[in-house]
Structure 1
Amino acid sequence: MTNVTQEIIVDIVAGQLRVPRTSLAVETPFYELGLDSLSGIRLLAALEERLGMELDPMLLLDFTSIETLAARLDQLKLDERSSHAETPVGDAGVRHASDKAGS
């Protein structure tokens, strides 16, 4: 099963590795795909920009494949949406990439 987040990650990783998107198996661990720690940091930076969220670099230690990282990011987006629905604007405690300039 694919989703938008998974497709974004596939695009970024394929670009970093300079391989066709179709050569990436989403369940394969990042290190087996050829990503090292520096590539992982670049992946997270690109995801922050594309998704508009600030991400913890430690995510890649727990979510080690395109498939598991996409599922976690989707869960974070859902959690953020429900937090915004329950919390008055300005009190959500969620930091967005667009908020960095105002910090």
Structure 2
Amino acid sequence: MGEIVHLSQKKIEKEKKLSKSKKKAPDAQTVRLWRLSMEIDDLIKKGVLDDSLPPDEISTILAHRLGTLISCCDNPEELSKFCAHIIERMNSNRNTGEPA
């Protein structure tokens, strides 16, 4: 009988560990940002594929828009460095045409 109780306690401990290790559901802001990201990706793909816009011109437009966004934040230097870091990391770790 003691062995059954011991196994039951192990099962309960294992379930507790699993529940702690599970990722939390994303919050509403994360979901909204993800959807915005997907919409931007769709617009870029449509511009390149359907409208035959050159990727370098789309990149120029996005860089200008990013500059406008950076100018609205509290710490533009830090955000600029962060964006540059993300761009460098994305370029060094992926093949051309691979999704971000």
Do Structure 1 and Structure 2 share a fold, with TM-score over 0.5? no
Q: Which has the higher contact order (CA 8 A, sep 6+)?
A: 1
TM-score, normalized by length of structure 1? 0.28
TM-score, normalized by length of structure 2? 0.28
Bigger share in helix = 2
Q: Which has the larger radius of gyration?
A: 2
